[in-house]
Amino acid sequence: MTITIINDCRDENAKARQVARAASIFKCAVAFVGVANDLEASGNLVDALDALEDRRGVVLVNVAPRHGKAKQWPNGTPFGYFRYKGVLVAASIDGCTLSLAKKLNLIDAFQILDTEKTTRALEKRSVIQKETGHHVVRSQFRSFNFLPKAAAVLLGRRHLPSRAMDLETIPDAPRAIWWVDNFGNCKTTLLADELPLKETAAISEKIGALQRFPRLKDVPDDTAALIEGSSGIGPKRFLEIVVQGGSAAGRFNLRSGSLL
């Protein structure tokens, strides 16, 4: 089994603490993906499920700002969970974090956890010490103090207080870039069958028409193009904007979150 952490708390201190805690709780390998926003988290969640294939695992996802719209919550967006094949996904619910999993029909049902009630339940199970429960509820680092412990209980199919979430409340994924890799290739939220199957496709006014190629190898040198990328799940793969031998992000001034 493998634990995958996808988190916007991604400095070296926060990363090391999360990995150490998850490894000590689950006693297995832990992979960590640092993200800058909810759209990056959304795409990386799909890729984590794809990487695990049919094997057992846990994916812990957190993008939980405390400012702006997040002020509506007592202490940041709540967490919830769903199961996909043999994988438990425990994730924050705000923004687009779950949007691409929804788009690909990976979520059959989603349960929202009440942080305070769940913490009380974890105290009764001696997962969290009673004298630290108040700190857990108020913690600014709930993805460290709360989420992995709740996930460990859920992994064993044990009950925690929760309520069903209407999947229609998950925002639809925008037409956007969700990730820029180290080569400058830009992963979009678009699937291959969402654009006309023509030699060229107008992806946006900003970028204009790009020629489509089956794979990166087929793109001529220094040419901007659309290809079916490696990210996605099963036969559903996201389109990527690439420049052969160069950076699409640099040429078109794109970054994660850029709308198309």
CATH number of the domain enclosing 78: 3.40.50.10790
Quote the CA–CA distance of 114 and 188 in Å, as a whole number: 33
Quote the CA–CA distance of 225 and 82 in Å, as a whole number: 36
Question: Is the per-residue pLDDT at 43 higher than 60?
Answer: yes
pTM of the model: 0.93
DSSP count for the chain of H helices, then E strands: 8, 13
The pLDDT mean for the chain works out to 90
**Token pair of 251 as six digits:** 């040429």
pLDDT bin (cut points 50, 70, 90) of residue 123 is confident
CB atoms under 10 Å from CB of 197, counted, come to 8
- 176 forms beta bridges with 259
pLDDT score recorded for residue 32: 98
What ranges make up the beta strands (E) of 183-244? 186-191, 200-204, 208-213, 224-233, 236-243
Q: Do 51 and 136 belong together in one domain?
A: yes
- 208 forms beta bridges with 204
Classify residue 54 as exposed, middle or buried by CB count within 10 Å of its CB (0-12, 13-18, 19+): exposed
CATH number of the domain enclosing 236: 2.40.30.90
Give a yes or no: residue 31 inside a domain.
yes
**Residues 79, 142 contacting (CB under 8 angstroms):** yes
Q: Do 183 and 165 belong together in one domain?
A: no
Domain termination site, one of 150, 169, 188:
169
For 84-118, write each residue's pLDDT tens digit. Answer: 999 999 999 989 999 999 999 999 999 999 888 88
pLDDT score recorded for residue 74: 58
Mean local confidence (pLDDT), 238-251: 97
pLDDT bin (cut points 50, 70, 90) of residue 54 is confident
Residue-range definition of the domain harbouring residue 208: 177-252
Q: Do 187 and 87 belong together in one domain?
A: no
Quote the CA–CA distance of 159 and 205 in Å, as a whole number: 50
* Ranges 46-60, 190-204, 217-231, 236-250: which has the least confidence: 190-204
**Token pair of 20 as six digits:** 């150490």
pLDDT bin (cut points 50, 70, 90) of residue 200 is confident
Give a yes or no: residue 24 inside a domain.
yes
- 111 forms beta bridges with 81, 164
Give a yes or no: residue 260 inside a domain.
no
CA atoms within 13 A on the CB side of 14: 16
| CA nearest to 147, candidates 22, 15, 13, 16 | 22
